Structure 1
Amino acid sequence: MREIRIFELDRERTVFWQSPAAELPQSLQVLQGLLWLTVEGEPADHWLRAGESFEIRHGQRVWLGTWQDGVRLRVSQPAKTLSPLTEKPARRVGERLGWRIALRDLAARVANRTMARLARG
């Protein structure tokens, strides 16, 4: 599962973007227009056209800008959920707990019936 956000940047605008330090890398993809992108500490700028993408690593500071037209872009990153490989064991543990609770309830009912019969004589 991934989180996806769509942004539109008006013409002749520049914005600052910083990927959170604790986050996984973010993928930036241009959907429409021409995007100017510069990364702090890198000597060269990047020009991305529709269909092209750039990976923003955690903690990286970038500036995004437009040229003559606006830009529409998509930023996506993996969602903060468990991966399918780690979900299965957790689900199995939950299933086992569910069976334990069901068996405990059944045992309690049987014990209550037995006690009621013994009390009646």
Structure 2
Amino acid sequence: MREIRLFELDQGQTVFWQASAAELPKSLQVLQGVLWLTVEGEPADHWLRAGESFEMRAGQRVWLGTWQDGARLRVSQPATTRPVFAGKPATRAGWRLAWRDVAVRLANRTMTRLSRG
């Protein structure tokens, strides 16, 4: 299940948003209007129109503003934030595969040495 929030900014309105470091990434999508977005520490601003989106990372500080007519936006957790394999997070599956690869290499190396005598 994902949380989805809808926001509307009035004409000329500017707001500050800081995602906490513990939060999952957020996807910000403009539904209507034009949204000005600036990220702390980045030299360039972003101008997003209806249908365009921006991925906010955990701990990121952003300023959002509107131009002439205001803007409507949706903020949600991206659908592909954490893939799951067999009921376990992908990170565990990835480590398991990496260790399996190491074990196979060691077994092959041992078999090669034993076959040489």
State the TM bucket, normalised to the shorter chain.
0.5 to 0.7
Identity %: 81
Please say if 1:34 is aligned against 2:23.
no
**Which one-letter code corresponds to 2:33 in the other structure?**
G
CA distance 1:37–1:69, change in 2 (3 Å): same
Given that 2:24 and 2:58 are in contact with CA atoms closer than 8 Å, whether structure 1 keeps it comes out as yes
Per residue, is there more strand in 1 or in 2?
Answer: 2
- Displacement of 1:78: 5.8
Q: Which residue of structure 2 aligns with residue 74 of structure 1?
A: 74
**Which one-letter code corresponds to 1:39 in the other structure?**
V
Q: Which residue of structure 2 aligns with residue 46 of structure 1?
A: 46
- Displacement of 1:4: 0.2
Given that 2:17 and 2:62 are in contact with CA atoms closer than 8 Å, whether structure 1 keeps it comes out as yes
Structure 2 unaligned blocks of 5 or more: 89-117
Per residue, is there more helix in 1 or in 2?
Answer: 1
Structure 1 unaligned blocks of 5 or more: 89-121
The secondary structure found in structure 2 opposite 1:2 is coil
CA distance 1:64–1:2, change in 2 (3 Å): same
CA distance 1:78–1:86, change in 2 (3 Å): farther
Structure index of larger Rg: 1
Provide the aligned length of Structure 1 versus Structure 2. 86
Given that 1:33 and 1:72 are in contact with CA atoms closer than 8 Å, whether structure 2 keeps it comes out as yes
CA separation in 2, counterparts of 1:25 and 1:60?
9
CA deviation map 1:29-49 (0-9, x unaligned):
000000000000000000000
CA deviation map 1:43-102 (0-9, x unaligned):
0000000000000000000000000111000000169xxx876769xxxxxxxxxxxxxx
Dislocated runs of 4+, deviation >6 Å: none
**Which one-letter code corresponds to 1:50 in the other structure?**
A
Give the TM-score normalised by the residue count of structure 2. Answer: 0.67
